[in-house]
C-alpha cells in the first residue's frame, strides 16, 4: 500500500531535514542531496540513518524517471 498524501506532506530526511523523493514502485524514500535511500516496509517509512543505503547513479536516474515519484513536503 502506498503512503498517504497527508504523511508525505509531513516527512523529511532525519539527517538534513530536507524533502525526500518518494518512489512508490520501489518502496523507497530517496534523499538526492545525500544520495541515500530509506526503505518503506508495510507502508511504514524506516527513516533510521543506520538503515539507509547508498544509491548508484543508475538507480538515482530510475527514481527520477518514475512517473509516480513525488517529493515530500507540502504541495505548492
Per residue in 1-51, pLDDT tens? 689 999 999 999 999 999 999 999 999 999 999 999 999 999 999 999 999
Question: pLDDT tens, 43-72?
Answer: 999 999 999 999 999 999 999 999 999 999
Rounded Cα distance between 73 and 9, Å, is: 4
Full set of structural domains in the chain with CATH: 5-71 (2.20.25.10)
pTM of the model: 0.93
Closest CA to 33 of 18, 14, 52: 18
Residues 21, 12: Cα–Cα separation, whole Å: 10
Partners of residue 41 on adjacent β-strands: 44
Amino acid at each position: 500500500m502506498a503512503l498517504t498524501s497527508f504523511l508525505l506532506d509531513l516527512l523529511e530526511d532525519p539527517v538534513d531535514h530536507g524533502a525526500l523523493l518518494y518512489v512508490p514502485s520501489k518502496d523507497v524514500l530517496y534523499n538526492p542531496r545525500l544520495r541515500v535511500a530509506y526503505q518503506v516496509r508495510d507502508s511504514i517509512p524506516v527513516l533510521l540513518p543506520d538503515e539507509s543505503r547508498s544509491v548508484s547513479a543508475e538507480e538515482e536516474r530510475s527514481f527520477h524517471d518514475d512517473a509516480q515519484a513525488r517529493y515530500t513536503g507540502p504541495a505548492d
